[in-house]
A = this chain, B = another copy of it.
Amino acid sequence: MTTQYDVLGIGNAIVDVLSKVDDQFLLTNQIPKGSMQIIDEDTARHLYSTMGAAIEISGGSAANTAVGVAQLGGKAAFFGKIKTDQLGDVFRHDITASGVAFPTKDATGGPETARSFILVTPDGERTMNTFLGACVEFGPDDIDVETVKASKVTYMEGFLWDPEQAKQAFVKAAQIARVANRDVSLSLSDSFCVDRHRDSFLELVKRDIDILFANEDEIKSLYQVDTFDAALQAVRQDCKIAALTRSSAGSVIVSPNDIHIVEAEKVDLLVDTTGAGDLFAAGFLTAYTQDKDLVSCAQLGAMAAAEVISHIGARPQADLKELAQAKGLL
């Protein structure tokens, strides 16, 4: 069977609400810096009423990755649940206009389209507070079997483990992809998310995941080890490929037989780290689906991540394909 898509992303369909705050704001509201916490509707309302003026930009981790793949010239699709409302319109418009197929039907009732209040501190670090909204309506019926079968890589965000029905959808998609002999990829998303779902993640990683994305905190949390090296040794037993990101220290790409250490791309001015991991995955998977070697995959990931942290918002603003071609990465 020929493939129709290079990367199918499955994740929460979220509109980001970005606002600059000082560190004191996080302390006052007892929000752990750098994390993603799930908030309910009341907390969302309270937080929004206390935070400053904001900018709305489409987001969602796997959705950002799908957009990055499309903008690098790959063929991308996305599954995720919005409601038919104004923020849902914004999400659908932006992902579609970015060249990503988005076949999932809107929810017509239930909670509003999800939003994440992303608080950006002066150091460029982002702290996310997500009201899942319509994402909780995403379930196994939203997994279009033919699309999964027709995608080289099915890429899923760990955040999807939070809404129960979505988790089932996730497992269903992974099984379809495995049977079709496609690659299954997972991003661990957040160390707090790993804490919440460690056993399920470990089982999934050992059984189903070909390509794992994680940052240093997440991979240490998964294996409950204190050092990066210990995590590294553990993960190489479990996955075909693990792409471990370490912010400005670059990335380490691990396979059972190889370890490569790849530099981060220099960034003139770090503005907002939102989407760094998502775009790293986009670059990595775009190169991977073009059969590039692992170092080239990591380099394209580093380039895409560097672009997205140099401005506000988690969707690329520059022409990623042109950038990559200029650097000889595509």
Closest B residue to A49 using CB positions: B93
Partner of A52, one of B97, B113, B313: B97
Q: How far is the CB of A231 from chain B (nearest CB, A)?
A: 36
Cα distance A6–B146 in the bound complex, in angstroms: 62
Cross-chain contact A55 with B98 (CB below 8 angstroms):
no
- The 8 A CB mask of A60-72 against B (1 = contact, 0 = none) is 0000000100000
Q: Which stretch from A84-92, A158-166, A168-176 is at the chain B interface?
A: A84-92
Which residues of A195-241 are within 8 A (CB) of B? none
Partner of A57, one of B48, B56, B94: B56
Interface size class of A (residues with CB under 8 A): 20 to 34
Q: Which residues of B contact A49 (CB under 8 A)?
A: 93
Determine if A53 is an interface residue (Cβ-Cβ < 8 Å).
yes
Partner of A86, one of B55, B86, B313: B86
Partner of A93, one of B54, B94, B98, B313: B54
Closest B residue to A115 using CB positions: B86
Q: Which residues of B contact A53 (CB under 8 A)?
A: 58, 67, 93-95, 97-98, 315
Whether A93 touches B48, Cβ cut-off 8 Å, given contacts A86-B85, A86-B86, is: yes
Which residues of A104-125 are within 8 A (CB) of B? 112-113
Q: Which residues of B contact A317 (CB under 8 A)?
A: 20
Determine if A180 is an interface residue (Cβ-Cβ < 8 Å).
no
Determine if A26 is an interface residue (Cβ-Cβ < 8 Å).
no
Determine if A145 is an interface residue (Cβ-Cβ < 8 Å).
no
Determine if A267 is an interface residue (Cβ-Cβ < 8 Å).
no
Partner of A56, one of B51, B90, B315: B90
Cross-chain contact A55 with B85 (CB below 8 angstroms):
no
Shortest 5 CB-CB contacts between residues of A and residues of B: A56-B56, A86-B86, A53-B94, A53-B97, A52-B97
Besides A56-B57, A86-B87, 10 other CB < 8 A contacts? A48-B93, A52-B98, A53-B58, A53-B93, A53-B94, A54-B90, A54-B93, A54-B97, A55-B56, A86-B112
Ordered by A's residue number, 21 sampled pairs between the chains whose C-beta atoms are within 8 Å are A20-B317, A48-B93, A52-B97, A53-B58, A53-B67, A53-B93, A53-B95, A53-B98, A53-B315, A54-B90, A54-B93, A54-B94, A54-B97, A55-B55, A55-B56, A56-B56, A56-B57, A56-B90, A85-B86, A86-B86, A86-B87
Question: What is A's interface to B at a CB cutoff of 8 Å?
Answer: 20, 48-49, 51-58, 67, 85-87, 90, 93-95, 97-98, 112-113, 313, 315, 317
